[in-house]
């Protein structure tokens, strides 16, 4: 691409939050050795859980836990 075209072509604005989310999804996929679609599903489930009433959340996610003794 020529310098003139680079300077005159409008740039797409990238929302920093979108970039942060995409980066986080890539990291999660790498850490959990999974596909991006699985990460999307995990995020969607988590968002759905957040919308549940408070009493339902307490039974799903303990406030603290201990790994071994």
Asked if the structure places residue 62 within a domain, the reply is no
d(CA 61, CA 57): 6
Domain that holds residue 25: 14-51
**pLDDT of 35-65, one tens digit each?**
888 888 988 888 888 876 655 555 566 666 6
Domain count, the chain: 1
d(CA 2, CA 54): 57
d(CA 53, CA 55): 6
**pLDDT of 7-30, one tens digit each?**
677 777 778 888 898 888 889 889
Residues in contact with 32: Cβ distance below 8 Å, sequence separation at least 6, in sequence order: 38, 39
């Amino acid at each position: 691409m020529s310098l003139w075209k680079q300077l005159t072509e409008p740039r797409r604005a990238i929302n920093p939050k979108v970039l942060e989310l995409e980066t986080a999804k890539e990291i999660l996929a790498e850490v959990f050795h999974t596909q991006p679609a699985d990460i999307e599903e995990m995020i969607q489930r988590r968002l759905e859980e957040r919308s549940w009433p408070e009493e339902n959340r307490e039974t799903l996610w303990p406030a603290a836990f201990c790994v071994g003794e």
